[in-house]
Structure 1
Amino acid sequence: MEEGPYVLLYPDGSEVKNIPGTNTPFKLHLYKEIWDFPDEASTPNAGITPNAGSTSNAGSTSNSNYTRLYAPIIIDSDSEASDESRQDVQEERTDVLTSADIVSDLALKIIKTCCSRFNINRANVWDGAVRGFRRASYNPLHDMLVKFTDDEGTTEDAVDTGGPKREFLTLLMDCLRTRRIFDGPENRRFLTFNSAAAREDEYFLAGQMIAVSIVHGGPGPRFLSDMLYDHLTGRTAINGTVEDITDEIMKAALVEISSAASLDELHMLVDKYASLLQTAGCFHNPQSVEGKENIVKDFIQWYIIYRNQYSIQKFSDSLSTLDVIHALEQHPSVFRPYMCYSVEKLTSESLEAVFKAQLSEVGCTRRQEETRILGYWRDYLLDTGGKGYINTFYCCFVHISSYSIDILMSATGLDSLPPSTIQPQPLLTFESTSKFPIASTC
């Protein structure tokens, strides 16, 4: 090989920074000590052990899946493979992975025989969440049991087989969006330093909540700015805009600078806002009028990233809960729609695929009636999906009336499809107790 520099990349093209599964900076000799590849196999040799409560076979499966999802592709230096063939291998490895594949692998660590309980009042979801996550007995590896209380403080008569937990995590992600630790436009939020939040370790708590939500079957936040997400996953692209700046004085200064029509005007504006630019570390006299773009980009990067580095580091550290940060670093494009805002249209086809119909035996009279009703159900999904009637309604048992209820939320506890599969899969059963569809998130 020609002299460097070289970087090692994951299948999606992102740079390898740490040895997979650890916080140790990547060094080839250390990687070989931890990982062993006998007979072309990719099974961890050391450093990763099965979790408590799992069988040895489950641990072996987890390790094998972990290697398949997270181990970089290593091509020996004397390999005759061309760049094109290497790219084909990388694309093949990346295309077969979905967020559900990756999350299901992370979820193997969850110990189903242990449980962390959360008592949640919908009037103050954040308070109940904080108490639950900060409880001394809480362990993110334990399964979650969520109990909602009504206005009188009595526990709702509901058994959590997934729905209440998913509803709680959905409500929690909505709460996070408006917390004091975030700033910026509603759908492009970035971290900002708040001394009170730092004292209460809210940055770490927020990252842990997001990691737990993803692995335990809940939604992602879907409101982080692309610039923050790129920084968290090791990218350096500058994709912020002046509209991300919430300080009106700073925004007005950047608008003036970006509107400079001549070099003299640009120099005058740089002198005018010298103290502001010096604070951001981007004060200099450009040699051409095009230099204004670099000034604006550098300022935006300072405003969103560098001045909030403490907050971002705490947040990133807590995303390592259940190895979520490694999944984000190695598959950033897969998880971007769940971490950052994206327009998601829930079609009738995707909604229909969520439910598994439980039909009677072929040939019986009941089966004929069920298939007839199934046709009406699919027509209903077409009508509501096509017209986009959405009205979120949080309830454990609810009658679904046309054009007024978000079907997915009332049936699963989710207001959007999560990065994981919905387990257990929602069932569509046929009963004679009601003329109308009845949903039970429990």
Structure 2
Amino acid sequence: MARADKSRHLHKMTGNTVADFKKDLGRSRLYVIPHSDIPLPSTSLPTATSTTGPTPMNEEPPQHSEAALTIQNDSNNSLAETLDPEEWQNAGTPEVYYRRRPLDPTSEEVNRSSMDNFLIAADSDEEEDEDFVPHDLASDDPFSDEMDIVTIIKMFREKHLTDGQKLTVIIRRRKLLESAIKAIKRPTFCWTTTPHIEFVGEEADDLGGPQREFFRLLMKEVQGSFGIFEGKPGQVFMTYDQAAIEHQKYFLAGNLVAWSIVHGGPSIKCLDPTLFQLMCGQEARLEEFDWSVIPDVEIHSKLQKLQECKTSDDLVSIKQILGDWIADCGIPQIFNARVEDIPKIYGNVVKHCIFLRSAKPIQQFTEGVNSFGNLWDVVTKNWIAFLPLFTNMQEPLSKAAFRCLLTYNYSTRGSNQREAEEETIYCWEQVLNMIEDKSSDLTYEDLLVFITGADEVPTLGFSSKPSVDFFTQEDGQRRLPYSSTCAMILYLPRGLSEEGELHAMLSQCVRECVGFGKV
């Protein structure tokens, strides 16, 4: 990418975001410079004609020639007439020419930058102003351009979170959702401070592990037991519950989701993708919506009949049987509709069923998210980046992905302890194979939770790589593997030679662990 200065020379642009390029570009045109040679056709030099757009240019000319570019318009035809056909060759368009004069190896031109090989015609309509910065309504918002989710959340945290301050949050594991709601309702609650999670009756100092555990379990509670979602797991819709609206449950759910996202935790990851698009103000392809995912089974047959309406006789039947219902969905035009109108009517009915009917709960939920630093505004402006946080796009962890997360803290090579550790790791690898072969009731997510407190890699990543360390079994005792979720270390016993024994130990740890410091 390049821009032209007042001297009509091109300068390469650098930037990582759209905003960077807009700022650097100013009023100049944007020129695209290919990274590979453009073959030069053997044509005679034609008369130049006008152009209004950017033209491809060759950044790295062949060794035997030096490329230059002139862009012409109607008022600059005289320049084309002055070009020597022996020196200039047309590139296949009337506006672009390449200088084919052999370079003198002793010439200073050999050492020129490749950007100096390009020249813009003097009266091209460049409006270069080096001090000009384009401004639009969104330019004051650092999140207005599409960015990756990690950058967005990091910028949001830098803007809002308070460094060095912590807020102690007391959680009763058996009443986790209730404990969390009580915490955020306290007058002293401040979402910008780092939550320090204390599980009642459990021995743990929150250096990261309890917080990861808390937000993971909290998001599951919000999805499953809060009563504001309905539908298939991983593809849910908002319920319409007047009592829940009156008690601000949707607003509280938005608070809890925002709280988790802001502090590096997961989100709900369960919204139907079409619903999420509509919530973000996007147009969705509702004519192709799968009616079977709607929770209300009474609506299934109605939508199915409407979608299958293909003939005039079908339409007459639809008007007689479903006309009043469709009109109540906000589409009274059904009674004057033609067959070709049915796809649009179907889409409008779907929109009513999954979005407009629950407009108040949705509004309350998004207001709850927005009450934490206008986070929902950031979501809507970067909705594609937030898709993995609000919809079910997560793939199960593979063996390869899980193994890449771990490092191993071996003893010195050649020592007896190292030999015993390698024996254990061989059994560990066999256990991982059992999971991959589905001959184990364990999953890689189970092991990751046991090691880190999280069932997936957090959006902002782990602060360090989870690791495997070792301990020596005392004679006559059977000590189970254990972990430190804060340090993200799994401790395995040295010298295990049977993968079945290690598998049984890990299963017992994962299934019977009931909290920090409890097995």
Q: TM-score, normalised by structure 1?
A: 0.69
Deviation at 1:76, TM superposition (A): 4.2
The answer for the alignment partner of 2:187 in structure 1 is 136
Q: Which of the pair is proportionally richer in helix?
A: 1
The answer for the alignment partner of 2:451 in structure 1 is 411
Q: Secondary structure at 1:214's aligned position in 2? A: helix
Q: Secondary structure at 1:292's aligned position in 2? A: helix
Deviation at 1:142, TM superposition (A): 0.9
Deviation at 1:196, TM superposition (A): 1.8
The answer for the alignment partner of 2:297 in structure 1 is 248
Alignment equivalent of 1:315, drawn from 355, 361, 365: 365
Deviation at 1:435, TM superposition (A): 6.2
Answer yes or no: is the 8 Å Cα contact 2:30–2:54 preserved in 1: no
Deviation at 1:310, TM superposition (A): 2.3
Q: After the TM superposition, which residues 60-99 of structure 1 pair with which residues of structure 2 at under 5 Å, given as runs?
A: 71=19, 74=22, 76=26, 78-81=28-31, 98-99=148-149
Q: After the TM superposition, which residues 14-413 of structure 1 pair with which residues of structure 2 at under 5 Å, given as runs?
A: 71=19, 74=22, 76=26, 78-81=28-31, 98-108=148-158, 109-149=160-200, 155-178=201-224, 179-239=226-286, 240-284=289-333, 285=335, 288-320=338-370, 321-322=372-373, 324-360=375-411, 366=417, 370=421, 373-387=424-438, 389-390=440-441, 406-413=446-453
The answer for the alignment partner of 1:441 in structure 2 is 485
d(CA) in 2 for partners of 1:342, 1:168: 22
Answer yes or no: is the 8 Å Cα contact 2:453–2:485 preserved in 1: yes
Percent of residue pairs bearing the same amino acid type: 23
CA deviation vs aligned residue, 1:65-93 (integer Å, no higher than 9, x gap)? xxx6794852545414368999xxxxxxx
Deviation at 1:315, TM superposition (A): 1.8
| Shift in alpha-carbon separation, 1:306–1:404, aligned structure 2, 3 A | closer
d(CA) in 1 for partners of 2:239, 2:479: 52
C-alpha RMSD of matched pairs (Å): 3.4
| Shift in alpha-carbon separation, 1:334–1:225, aligned structure 2, 3 A | same
| Shift in alpha-carbon separation, 1:79–1:224, aligned structure 2, 3 A | same
CA deviation vs aligned residue, 1:302-332 (integer Å, no higher than 9, x gap)? 1111222222222223323255435533443
Q: Secondary structure at 1:429's aligned position in 2? A: strand
d(CA) in 1 for partners of 2:407, 2:263: 21
Q: What code does the residue aligned with 1:441 have?
A: T
Answer yes or no: is the 8 Å Cα contact 1:412–1:441 preserved in 2: yes
Per mean C-alpha deviation after superposition, the further-off stretch among 341-350 and 70-79 is 70-79
Q: TM-score, normalised by structure 2?
A: 0.60
d(CA) in 1 for partners of 2:253, 2:480: 40
The answer for the alignment partner of 1:49 in structure 2 is none
Q: Secondary structure at 2:400's aligned position in 1? A: helix
Q: Secondary structure at 1:346's aligned position in 2? A: coil
| Shift in alpha-carbon separation, 1:97–1:261, aligned structure 2, 3 A | closer
d(CA) in 1 for partners of 2:19, 2:395: 31
Answer yes or no: is the 8 Å Cα contact 1:338–1:418 preserved in 2: no
Radius of gyration: which is bigger? 2
Q: What code does the residue aligned with 1:431 have?
A: F
Task: Extract unaligned runs of 5+ from structure 2.
Answer: 1-12, 33-52, 57-145, 487-519
d(CA) in 2 for partners of 1:431, 1:268: 75
CA deviation vs aligned residue, 1:114-137 (integer Å, no higher than 9, x gap)? 222332233222111111121111
The answer for the alignment partner of 1:422 in structure 2 is 462
